[in-house]
Structure 1
């Protein structure tokens, strides 16, 4: 039974291969006779593939569905824990009826990190929606559903993100980040608010916010220098006395069993609970006269940013947002139009941060790596063939393989990301193998005395089987990776798709277009040789 099944499969393959071989020989002879037409077709296909780059879109890394959604809740500065708790429980009640949610973990206050300076006004909800095979909706749809249910909550800043990670590390907090730099904090605030308003009209942006939105109230004490001089006081002396009366001072140190303990002295009668009580504080002059603080200083409550960030010694405000159902490069194009149309005051500038900056930097480095790899491949082939022109013929399979790579991304709905770009670099080394074997076989037949066209028509069918087997085995090895739907597979799927699409197209390029280019270049060499002679 097994022997008969093997015989049937073998006979089927032989019949199919012989039919394919005969058809290939007829098509190859047409390619040689009408090589100019086929070269134009190849150029046209490559040009069309370049146009698909804009349709495919770019992104830093593919979004990974790990089944975890984080909801950060930030109340105004000074909010107590009870207020935070009440709001968090309200959020829990609003989203608890979403079918995919399995459990919710609530963290009140800061997360325990030394870098987290927030207090009782902050909370985080970690929502587990399970693995992808346990639900019908992806995590982006569930996240958008949660945004809709929480959109009516006022009085707090709510950030919702489905955290993407690569090898356990977060890629970036913000998919879109614009950094605006300048000197005047008031001007920066106006610019940020204007741009924030313009960005709201861009399709695909969600959770647009400015770093100015988290302002804190603080008491500003401005000393009247002239009045202070009348009483013989300086700004430093006034500040030291205010600090001593409000916070206390370290009066001395007490030695105990080899250790020194600070002795801290502080008023115990009452604390200043209002700005009026602060104004009534007295400052003692050098003559021992108690002077009310309101006599010497202007005491007001002002709002200021919670953090002052400087980039290249300039104050910087950031505008951040996340994406929904749109590629990063397409959103960036719309943002560029907004920023180019906005009139920045002299001395103020902007730049990208977050995943946008990471994308541009990574693609620049990968582009350089691709160019370097092509140069190294060319040098090796030039040394092997002892010719500068034949390697060019072989290298033409690379841009045409790129056609297949981009087309495959477009058909499957994937974007050009860092893993996909790495796949293109791999492809540039893989696709030349078949072309090397074919050109080398053609040259061997020509050395034996065959004419160019006869050598091509003999060598190409002879190398057909090895070329097909090499391509099919490589594609078969990549198919499980391309079709994988498990958690974390999103990072490798674009790479596999690029290799499969590029190899498929490069196989036809090697079998049909490379012989046409070879014949065309050979004619050019003969014409140049005749002219030089």
Structure 2
């Protein structure tokens, strides 16, 4: 497992934009490692028995336990301090053999110094090495592309090279996938609720679709602004896109409500749409500008604590800007097209009906 973890770390360093790799294996303090000599094995000594004798000699073995008032007192027996201060004392420590005799520890075992384990991590009774990779602010390769490359090519080869190991994307990545699935489902539910509310308020099944036309345009604006700024798309960016959806729908509601209210005052639909765009231009523009101005302090924030807010505010600002353009251009145009289609069916109700056979 350690060799496989080192191989993964070496492979990860070949990707550009890697800032740091954190390893869950923490080196511990130096400790003594015992290894039985052939002489000790011939005498029937086991490494477990040897380790227990050394532990009892230096840490102590409980000889008695009694209560003194409300406190429990333990009496432990171990070698005197003067016999526990030098490595020579350890080598000459008498070891009890299975046949009842004794022998110096140095004659039955070898002693080496080796770094111990600072922490052991396990999952499902298996040892685990967790690697956390940190990228620079604007890496040449996104984390998703690195993940796809590792999953499709490197990890299968690694499992063949080291049989018995299992490679997973980690709890953080799995949790991110679950959050992403929840976000997709909740976004669909929110759009469905908005459609239902607009359908009830305007007593129409087609007009709510016009209100929602600005939503994909706002999402497109968030994607384009990330590409122009050289930022990778993240989960925070998606949250900003979803938040911008409700605001751009409100702009469409303001415009189309004005058109419906003034419908009877205009004979020509084109004049009505132009008048509505001119009349509602100021409030729609002010809503977008005031919202963007409120997000501006977070856009220019450089502290480490608020850096994760930059993708959210960037998506919101770009979504509102592109949504305003869609509200003033795309939504009125589609409204005019929908009105022409409705008028066509009213004038030619049997246009798409096949003539019956006599």
Query: What's the TM-score, normalizing by structure 1?
Result: 0.54
Equivalences for residues 306-321 of structure 1 within 5 A: 306-321=118-133
Instruction: State the distance in 2 between where 1:510 and 1:444 align.
Output: 17
* Contact persistence 2:270–2:336 (CA under 8 A): yes
| Residue 6 (structure 2) pairs with residue 189 (structure 1) | no
Instruction: State the distance in 1 between where 2:59 and 2:213 align.
Output: 75
Instruction: Describe the superposition over 1:248-292 as per-residue Cα deviations: whole angstroms up to 9, x where unpaired.
Output: 112223554443322222111412744x86565433357642245
Equivalences for residues 2-41 of structure 1 within 5 A: none
* The one of 116, 138, 151 aligned to 1:326: 138
* Partner residue in 2 for 1:428: 245
Displacement, 1:421?
3.3
Equivalences for residues 157-172 of structure 1 within 5 A: none
Q: Provide the secondary structure at the position in 1 that maps to 2:142.
A: helix
Displacement, 1:362?
4.6
* The one of 203, 209, 222 aligned to 1:386: 203
* Partner residue in 1 for 2:101: 289
Task: Provide the aligned C-alpha RMSD in A.
Answer: 4.1
Instruction: State the distance in 2 between where 1:489 and 1:304 align.
Output: 39
Displacement, 1:493?
4.4
Instruction: State the distance in 1 between where 2:115 and 2:99 align.
Output: 36
Displacement, 1:449?
8.2
| Residue 250 (structure 2) pairs with residue 250 (structure 1) | no
How many residue pairs get aligned? The number is 344
* Partner residue in 2 for 1:461: 278
Instruction: Describe the superposition over 1:329-353 as per-residue Cα deviations: whole angstroms up to 9, x where unpaired.
Output: 6145235424543312344232334
| Residue 251 (structure 2) pairs with residue 438 (structure 1) | no
* Contact persistence 2:222–2:318 (CA under 8 A): yes
- Which one has the largest radius of gyration? 2
Return closer, same or farther for 1:509/1:193 CA change in 2, 3 Å cut-off: same
Displacement, 1:296?
6.6
Instruction: State the distance in 2 between where 1:358 and 1:323 align.
Output: 19
Instruction: State the distance in 1 between where 2:74 and 2:263 align.
Output: 95
Equivalences for residues 83-482 of structure 1 within 5 A: 188-208=1-21, 210-212=23-25, 214=27, 217-221=30-34, 239-253=51-65, 255-268=67-80, 269-271=82-84, 273-274=86-87, 278=90, 280-284=92-96, 288-293=100-105, 305-327=117-139, 330-334=142-146, 336-338=148-150, 340-342=152-154, 343=157, 344-345=159-160, 346-353=163-170, 360=177, 362-446=179-263, 450=267, 452-453=269-270, 455-482=272-299
| Residue 310 (structure 2) pairs with residue 498 (structure 1) | no
Return closer, same or farther for 1:517/1:329 CA change in 2, 3 Å cut-off: farther
Displacement, 1:431?
0.4
Equivalences for residues 515-526 of structure 1 within 5 A: 515-523=332-340
Instruction: State the distance in 1 between where 2:304 and 2:153 align.
Output: 42
Instruction: State the distance in 1 between where 2:111 and 2:8 align.
Output: 33
Displacement, 1:404?
2.5
Instruction: State the distance in 2 between where 1:366 and 1:252 align.
Output: 62
Instruction: State the distance in 2 between where 1:273 and 1:529 align.
Output: 106
Q: Provide the secondary structure at the position in 1 that maps to 2:168.
A: strand
The structure whose RCO (Cα within 8 Å, separation 6+) is larger is 1
Instruction: Describe the superposition over 1:185-235 as per-residue Cα deviations: whole angstroms up to 9, x where unpaired.
Output: xxx1221222222222221113446445736654444679xx88976x877
Return closer, same or farther for 1:202/1:413 CA change in 2, 3 Å cut-off: closer
Instruction: Describe the superposition over 1:427-458 as per-residue Cα deviations: whole angstroms up to 9, x where unpaired.
Output: 11110112112223334455678465454344
* Contact persistence 1:204–1:331 (CA under 8 A): no
* Contact persistence 1:285–1:291 (CA under 8 A): yes
Which moves more between the two structures, 357-366 or 380-389?
357-366
Instruction: Describe the superposition over 1:2-58 as per-residue Cα deviations: whole angstroms up to 9, x where unpaired.
Output: xxxxxxxxxxxxxxxxxxxxxxxxxxxxxxxxxxxxxxxxxxxxxxxxxxxxxxxxx
* Contact persistence 1:211–1:319 (CA under 8 A): yes
| Residue 324 (structure 2) pairs with residue 514 (structure 1) | no
Instruction: Describe the superposition over 1:368-411 as per-residue Cα deviations: whole angstroms up to 9, x where unpaired.
Output: 43333222212211222222221112101011012223333444
Q: Provide the secondary structure at the position in 2 that maps to 1:206.
A: strand
* Contact persistence 1:202–1:331 (CA under 8 A): no
* Contact persistence 1:214–1:305 (CA under 8 A): yes
Q: Which runs of 5+ in 2 are unaligned?
A: none
Instruction: Describe the superposition over 1:70-89 as per-residue Cα deviations: whole angstroms up to 9, x where unpaired.
Output: xxxxxxxxxxxxxxxxxxxx
Instruction: State the distance in 1 between where 2:190 and 2:197 align.
Output: 11
Instruction: State the distance in 2 between where 1:427 and 1:507 align.
Output: 11
